[in-house]
Amino acid sequence: MNATESIEYIHSISWCFCKPGLDRISTLCDMLGNPEKELKFIHVAGTNGKGSFCAMLDSILRSAGYKTGLFTSPYIKSFNERICFDGMPISDNDLAEVTSFVRPFADSMLEKPTEFELITAIGFEYFRRKGCDVVILETGMGGRLDSTNIIESPLLSVITGIALDHTAFLGDTVEKIAYEKAGIIKKGCPALFGGNDDIALGVISDYAREIGSELFVTSRSEIKNIRASLSGTSFDFRDKKNLFIKLLGLYQPLNAANVLSAVEILGGMGMDIPDAAIRKGLEQTVWHARFEVISSEPLVIYDGAHNPEGIAAAVKSIKAYFGESKVYVLSGVMKDKDYNCIARDLATVASRAFTVTPDNPRALDASEYADVLSAHGIPSQAFTSLGEALRTAIAAAKRDSVPLLCLGSLYMYSELIRELEKI
C-alpha cells in the first residue's frame, strides 16, 4: 500500500457497530508484539484543552533534548498530523509501511478493530520503531474504555478539565464524565487534574485515592499578570516570570499552567527539563485552529470552540481582545450540543452571524441554527455552503471594519482554509 491507500483502508473501517471495550485493541497489540510495552507515556484526557496541552508539552520536551512521539486527534490539515515524531508528522512512506505491517493482523481478527483502535495500534508500532524517549498520548473521546488506555504504567496521567460533552457516550452528568476520564489513572502512577470543577475534582480524587495514585492539582490562582494581545500572551506562574506563548486565547495561559505543573512533576521523577527549555518550548509552540489569526485584512480568527465550555472560553477571549466592540461570527454546530446556551453566550459579543451546516450527520441545520441565534438577538443568515458563507462574511467584515470570528469543530478548519485561499 502507498500512503493514500493506507488512509483509505483506515477510513474504511466501520466503528459505529462496535461495543466499547479494550478487548480488540488488546488482541491487536498482542499480535504486534505489544509495542506499547516498550514505550513511556504521558497520557492526556479531558473535555477541552487536550490538544494545546499536548502541543506545548511536546515542544518543551523536544527543547530539552528528548525524542518525542505525539499522538493526537482530530487532524487539522492532513491525517499524518495525528502521529508525530520529534515535531514532524509521520511520513507517507512510514505510514504506508507501518499500516501494511498492521493490516494483516487487524484483518485476521474475528471482531475487527474500530478505526481509532487501528490508528492507535499504528501509532504504537511507529513510535516503537522510532525509539521514542517519551510519547505524549491523547485519548480519543473518553478515557476508561478509550483504546489508548491499554497502556499499563504511564509516567503521568493528565486530565485537563471536565465539562458536559459527548454525553451520549460518556454520561449526562459531570460525575459520570469525570469517572470515565479518571479511568486513565493507574495504580502507583502520578496524576494531574487541571480543571476548575469541584464536583469533577471530587470524583477524580476519590478514584485516585482508591487505586493508590498520587493526585496533583494545578493551582489556577498562581497564574498572574496575564498580558494578552493579538501578538501573543505573557504571564507569570509561580516562580516563573514573563513566560511567553504565541498561542492566543485567554484559556491558553491555563493550558500552559497545566503543562508547567506536569513539567514539575516529571522533573521530580528525574527528567531533566531546564528552565531555558521550558521557555523556548512554550514560545515555539504552534497549534492551529485555537484562536488563530488566519487573515489580517480583514481580521479573521478561527477557534475550534464547538461546545458550551469552549464557546464560553472563546467569548471571554473576544471580550479581552476587542472590549465592548462587537464581532461578526461564522459558525456551525452539532444538534447534540446545547446550542441555546451557545447562542446566549455569543449574543454578548456578536452583532451578526453567518451559519453553516457542518459536514457531519449530527450537524444542526444552518437555517435552524440561524433561527436560534436570531431569537437570541443576533441577526443571522444561513448558507448552504461554507465557501458562500465565508465570502459573504468576509465581504461584510471588510465593509464594516468588524473582526470575523469563525467558531466550530476542528474538522471544519481545513475546508475553511481552502475556501479562504480562493478569496
Per-residue pLDDT of the chain (423 residues; tens, 9 = 90+): 898 999 999 988 754 455 678 999 999 999 999 999 999 999 999 988 899 999 999 999 999 999 999 999 888 889 999 999 999 999 999 999 999 999 999 999 999 999 999 999 999 999 999 999 999 999 987 789 999 999 999 999 999 988 654 444 444 588 988 999 999 999 999 999 999 889 999 999 999 999 999 999 999 999 999 999 999 999 999 999 999 999 998 889 999 999 999 999 999 999 999 999 999 999 999 999 889 999 999 999 999 887 887 899 899 999 999 999 999 999 998 888 888 999 999 999 999 999 999 888 888 999 999 999 999 999 999 999 999 999 999 999 999 999 999 998 777 888 999 999 998
CA dihedral 185, 142, 39, 79 (to 10 degrees): -160
Q: Do 289 and 304 contact (CB within 8 A), yes or no? A: yes
Q: Do 406 and 282 contact (CB within 8 A), yes or no? A: no
Cα separation, 356 vs 329, whole angstroms = 11
Cα separation, 419 vs 423, whole angstroms = 7
Question: What domains lie within the chain, and their CATH numbers?
Answer: 3-284 (3.40.1190.10), 292-422 (3.90.190.20)
For 162, which DSSP code? -
Cα separation, 178 vs 200, whole angstroms = 5
Q: Given its phi and psi angles, is residue 322 left (phi above 0), alpha (psi -120 to 50 degrees) or beta?
A: alpha
Query: Can you give the pLDDT at residue 163?
Result: 64
Mention every residue, 6+ apart, whose C-beta is less than 8 A from residue 184.
43, 45, 139, 143, 144, 146, 148, 149, 154, 157, 159
Cα separation, 52 vs 259, whole angstroms = 9
Cα separation, 401 vs 296, whole angstroms = 11
- Model pTM score: 0.89
Q: Which amino acid is at 93?
A: N
Edge-to-edge strand list for the sheet holding 191-193: 88-89, 83-85, 68-71, 134-138, 41-45, 156-159, 191-193, 215-217
> Which residue bears the cell 487487524?
106
For residue 30, what is the enclosing H or E element?
Answer: helix 23-31
Nearest of 235, 324, 326 to residue 283 by alpha carbon: 235
